[in-house]
Structure 1
Amino acid sequence: MSHFETDPHLFGGELDHREDHAPGDAPEESAGHWVLNSNLGLIFSLILTVAAFLAARSHLIYGPAVPDALLVLGVAQMGVHLVFFLHVTTGPDNTNNVLALAFGILVVFLIVVGSIWIMANMNQNMMPMDQLMRMQP
């Protein structure tokens, strides 16, 4: 039992750093904090975008490794957007956001893998085109 329940005079009706609060009831942060985060996210995004263009157009990376480098840079770009622009963190107030993001990733993964599986199965089980053309009158 907390001391707020035993002594009603200590509870002032406003949230402060000592009290429990629901998600979204966190104290407001200063505008400078938001501007700094947005600018930092913009700088990271620009660096990652330029790095992706350089990786694709120059010969700094071994040719067969370029798709892997672009994949890594793309995942890093998504991480920057999630943290700096969408403010998705692993804090206790963001549990629902993280779960919704994980569910969205699961759905996209199932759709992509399921589509590839179906197309591979159809490719394996369909008659070759030259045999199909011979069957027509």
Structure 2
Amino acid sequence: MWTGPGPTGGDRAPGDRPAPESDFTPGLGSYVIGLTLAVLLTAASFTVARYGLVWKPGVPILLVVLAIAQMGVHLVFFLHITTGPDNTNNVMALAFGTLIVILLIGGSLWIMANLNHNMMPMDEIMKRQR
């Protein structure tokens, strides 16, 4: 009988684990914890935004902190991105994606900040339209 690559063969990709038995409860705890944390962080964000429990200038900062915490919960508990040896590629892809997002936001803010400086004055625009 041939025991080459395949579902019953001995050839597996790095990081592959054998198929678990039909019991799905071992991983369920992680999802329940993640769901609970995500719901609590969402409720905290709505509470901070709706009621005056926090000093007004501090509200946007607290919302950003809660959003970053929410992203962390999703990455760890739902996408299972950790710093383990099997997840090196996932962490590198996440870091690259984060770099791209930072460059896009930074470039957009830089363009918008300099756009007003590079625009023609309004009175000169009005003169040319006549």
Within the alignment, does 1:88 sit opposite 2:81 as a pair?
Answer: yes
User: Residue 3 of structure 1 corresponds to which residue in structure 2?
Assistant: none
* CA apart distance, 1:115: 1.4
User: Residue 72 of structure 1 corresponds to which residue in structure 2?
Assistant: 65
Instruction: Name the amino acid aligned to 2:109.
Output: I
TM-score norm. by structure 2 comes to: 0.83
Deviations 1:100-124 (A, max 9, x none): 0000011111111111112222211
TM-score norm. by structure 1 comes to: 0.79
User: Residue 35 of structure 1 corresponds to which residue in structure 2?
Assistant: 28
Residue number among 100, 115, 128 corresponding to 2:108 in the alignment: 115
Within the alignment, does 1:25 sit opposite 2:29 as a pair?
Answer: no
Indicate conservation of the 8 Å contact 1:45/1:77, yes or no. Answer: yes
* CA apart distance, 1:89: 0.2
CA distance in 2, matches of 1:27, 1:68: 45
Instruction: Name the amino acid aligned to 2:14.
Output: P
Within the alignment, does 1:45 sit opposite 2:32 as a pair?
Answer: no
CA distance in 2, matches of 1:23, 1:132: 64
Instruction: Name the amino acid aligned to 1:67.
Output: P
Indicate conservation of the 8 Å contact 1:23/1:94, yes or no. Answer: no
Instruction: Name the amino acid aligned to 1:42.
Output: L
* CA apart distance, 1:87: 0.3
CA distance in 1, matches of 2:78, 2:14: 18
Residue 15 of structure 2 aligns to a residue whose secondary structure is coil
Identity %: 56
Residue 79 of structure 1 aligns to a residue whose secondary structure is helix
Deviations 1:34-93 (A, max 9, x none): 111111100000000000000001111101100000000000000000000000000000
Instruction: Name the amino acid aligned to 2:86.
Output: D
